[in-house]
Amino acid sequence: MISSLLQQLALTFGRPKNAKDARGQAILRTKGIALAFGLILSGVGVRGAALCMSPHEKVVDANDLQRWGRVRLTAPRGDILDRDGRALATTVVTPSIVIDPASIDDDERATVAADLAEILGRDIESVLAQLEQPTRYARLGRDVHPTVADAIRRYPHRAVWVERTRKRFYPEENLAAQILGFVDADGNGRSGLESSLNDELAGGTVILQRRRDRRGRGVDASEFDPDTSAGHIVSTTIDRDIQRAAERALAHVVERSAPKSATAVVIDVQTGDILALANAPVFNPNAVSRNPQSRRNHAVQDWFEPGSVMKPFTIAAAVEAGAVTEDSMVNCEAGYWRTGGSRIRDDHPKGIITVTQVMKYSSNIGSAKLALELGPEAFIDSLRAFGFGQRTGVPLPGELAGQIRHPDRIRTIELANTAFGQGMTATAMQLAMGIAAIANDGVLMKPRLITAVTDNDGLPEWTQEPTEVRQAVSPDTAAQVSRMMQAVMEEGGTGRAGRIAGYRVAAKTGTAQKAHQGGYGEARVSSFVGFLPAEAPEVAIVVMVDEPSKGSRYGGTVAGPAFSELGAATMRALGIAPDLELLDDSVEEPIDVAAVADLDGISMEWAGEGWRVPDLSGYALRDVLVGVQGAGLSLELDGSGHVVSQVPAAGTIIEPGQSVSVVLR
């Protein structure tokens, strides 16, 4: 055995003696070399298997670092809808242009930069600067036009591609901006409903450890389906058309009176639904301004000394306690009365008048006497029953409660002042709900802004039914106060500027001095609160104007026209037919229609049997929709842009339900 091995070795390395030896040597050498190769090959096999099975620590680390990415996947945020299901806030997907500068060769960089600059409409230098960055991922354009994205997709260089990114979008721009709020760059709600309902609206988020390619893009199909965990849809009570009318009315207030701010609230009195909640100044949540003042929701985040708009509640308290009726007589001391060591004055001095007249002429002295007669306990309790001094519970961030003094600690003059809305504070939202309670047979409702939160399949997560808070006063008391508030609108009352053609209105004006450095200065809060139609109330409306700086400062004059404009638009939007008899009255005494007519929007004029079709030419689609459709007429549209022709012609009278067709270009 060993000797034969030695012989073979000798033959392999030695000199062959003959041809047979030479052939044998060749075979031995062939086999010997093959054996060596076989051993090396085996070694390669074992080494490779070892690299598979027990890799070096650094290799494992490098793998984790390069090939695995923590990817945050977020499902789209839910929509916020108005009461008719129209989107007020939605999520859109927009294309972004991304480039991997490292995979562009030096010699082609200038050409690529020029091409991309042309496609993107940017200057070459800035594109080139981005292409020269030492990175593998740079964003050349965000939210680009679809045609640009298409051009990039067709562009034959693999270093540039299109990614789709989500964006929160508010199709109505600044409409209801303070209610909706906005989202920050990370997709978190920062104010309004976007903030208070962030958990509901936000899409599900998962952080996945997943394999990625060298560009960082995931390579494996994800089991996470963003659509199934999309954010919930929030249905609100906001009526887009009424909201738009409210914002327009406030815009006119701003034009006329240049206030610091203004707010308007429209409440459905039976349900407590917030149909509109408008603020001026406004902001566009699509391009959030740096000025936090414009994002402030004054109706819930500001408190005011309300002034005379508190008188309906004072009188309601006295009537409810049985101390007076609407016809009881009160001595108003000819406009000057001393009590608790202080003077109280009336702007319209009266002698002995009815409680109704106290309301109509807004007598401070009469109101104070009613409160003093009731005493602190009963009076303050009644104000609390109307919701003053407590938050209404509206689901908006930052709501204030307002303050009323405690009955045990209130001094006489403070009690007298509270009777006409001084020395206490309230929010516009509280006033709106309180007035709505008077309109709603004395039942105070909780303000409802959200009707339902629905999941992605349309199944309700939860719904919110109208909620009664309490019976603040009896239906009879409410009816008496309602009648007294209607008197405010009559000849000689303070609310004349707030009348609405075709509808009976119950209202109260307020012109409150603003506390300033311990006393009262020149600044006023001018307000107008009321409801309509007075005989069968549908909506309560509050308009508050903070520090008007131009023209009159009286609530009736400053806030009245806005109340009138907004009330008329609300009636049209809700399809509540006007009382034809009242319209005939208004022909004799044309009021405030003018205030509507000279405004930007289309004014619809009631002509006895139907609407007089206005001249629509030149109006934008939006105005036509609000004006014509808002009046209960149906609308046939052709084209877009501005109206160039219309059928029927201007001046024709048509009945509600008939249609108007317009051509827009």
Partner 1 sequence: MSSITSDITAAAPQSRTGSWDWWLLGVTFGLCGLGLLMILSASSVMADQNYGDALRFVTRQIMGLGIGLAAAVTALVVPWRWYRTRAHYVLGASALMLALVWTPLGHGAKGARRWLDLGPLNIQPSEVAKVAVILFASHYLAKNAHKLKDLVGGVLPLLGLCGIPIFLTFIQPDFGSTVILCGLVGYLLIVAGMRTLWVMIGGTVAVAGLASLAVLAPYRIRRLASFTDPLENASGDGYQVVQGWIALAQGGLFGQGLGNGIAQRGFLPEPHTDFIGAVIGEELGAIGWLVMVACYGIVLWRGTVLASRAGGLYGNLLAGGVTTLLAVQAIINLGVIVGWVPPKGLVLPFVSYGASAVVVHVLCIGLLLRVGLESPARRTV
- Cite the active site residues: 308
The stretch near partner 1 (CB under 8 A) out of 195-203, 207-215, 250-258, 501-509 is 207-215
The stretch near partner 1 (CB under 8 A) out of 33-41, 310-318, 482-490, 554-562 is 33-41
Which of 6, 7, 62, 118 touches partner 1 (CB under 8 A)? 62
Cα-based distances in Å from 138 to 145, 162, 218, 363:
18, 12, 17, 70
- What is the rounded CA–CA span in Å between residue 296 and residue 282? 9
Quote the Cα angle for 189-195-198, to 5°. 75
- What is the rounded CA–CA span in Å between residue 653 and residue 637? 19
> Widest CA span of the chain, in angstroms?
153
Regarding 22 and contact with partner 1 (CB under 8 A), the answer is: yes
Which of 158, 338 has the CB closer to partner 1?
158
Are 250 and 279 in contact by the 8 Å Cβ rule? The answer is yes
Which of 139, 145, 153, 158 touches partner 1 (CB under 8 A)? 158
Contacts of 200 (CB under 8 A, 6+ apart): 78, 231, 232, 234, 453, 461
Which of 1, 3, 4, 15 touches partner 1 (CB under 8 A)? 15
589 DSSP 8-state letter: S
CB of 209 to partner 1, least distance (A): 14
- What is the rounded CA–CA span in Å between residue 493 and residue 359? 9
* Other beta carbons less than 10 A from residue 572's beta carbon: 26
The stretch near partner 1 (CB under 8 A) out of 29-37, 354-362, 412-420, 482-490 is 29-37
Which of 7, 31, 585, 645 touches partner 1 (CB under 8 A)? 31
How far is C-alpha 154 from the chain's CA centre? 39
Regarding 9 and contact with partner 1 (CB under 8 A), the answer is: no
Which of 6, 7, 42, 292 touches partner 1 (CB under 8 A)? 42
Kindly identify the residues of this chain, within the stretch 215-244, that bind partner 1 according to CB under 8 A: 215, 219
Regarding 10 and contact with partner 1 (CB under 8 A), the answer is: no
Regarding 153 and contact with partner 1 (CB under 8 A), the answer is: no
CB of 49 to partner 1, least distance (A): 4
Contacts of 559 (CB under 8 A, 6+ apart): 253, 498, 509, 526, 527, 528, 543, 544, 545
Regarding 48 and contact with partner 1 (CB under 8 A), the answer is: yes
Regarding 52 and contact with partner 1 (CB under 8 A), the answer is: yes
The stretch near partner 1 (CB under 8 A) out of 39-47, 239-247, 355-363, 433-441 is 39-47
Regarding 535 and contact with partner 1 (CB under 8 A), the answer is: no
CB of 22 to partner 1, least distance (A): 6
The stretch near partner 1 (CB under 8 A) out of 31-39, 79-87, 320-328, 497-505 is 31-39
Regarding 135 and contact with partner 1 (CB under 8 A), the answer is: no
Phi and psi dihedrals of 264, rounded to 5?
A: -140, 140
- Give 387-417 as a 3 state SS string: CCCCCCCCCCCCCCCCCCCCCCCCCHHHHHH
Are 84 and 240 in contact by the 8 Å Cβ rule? The answer is yes
Which of 39, 536 has the CB closer to partner 1?
39
Regarding 33 and contact with partner 1 (CB under 8 A), the answer is: yes
Closest CA to 358 of 208, 535, 508: 508
CB of 106 to partner 1, least distance (A): 15
Tokens matching residue 160: 């540039």
CB of 131 to partner 1, least distance (A): 19
Which of 139, 142, 214, 665 touches partner 1 (CB under 8 A)? 214
β-partners of residue 452 are: 235, 463
Which of 68, 462 has the CB closer to partner 1?
68
Which of 6, 7, 16, 345 touches partner 1 (CB under 8 A)? 16
**How many chain residues bind partner 1 (CB under 8 A)?**
44
CB of 206 to partner 1, least distance (A): 21
Angle, helices 2-13 vs 19-53, to 10°: value is 100
Side-chain-facing half-sphere of 397: CA atoms under 13 Å? 16
- Applying CB under 8 A, which residues contact partner 1? 13-16, 22-23, 25-27, 29-31, 33-34, 37-38, 40-45, 47-49, 51-53, 55-56, 58-60, 62-63, 66-67, 158, 211-215, 219
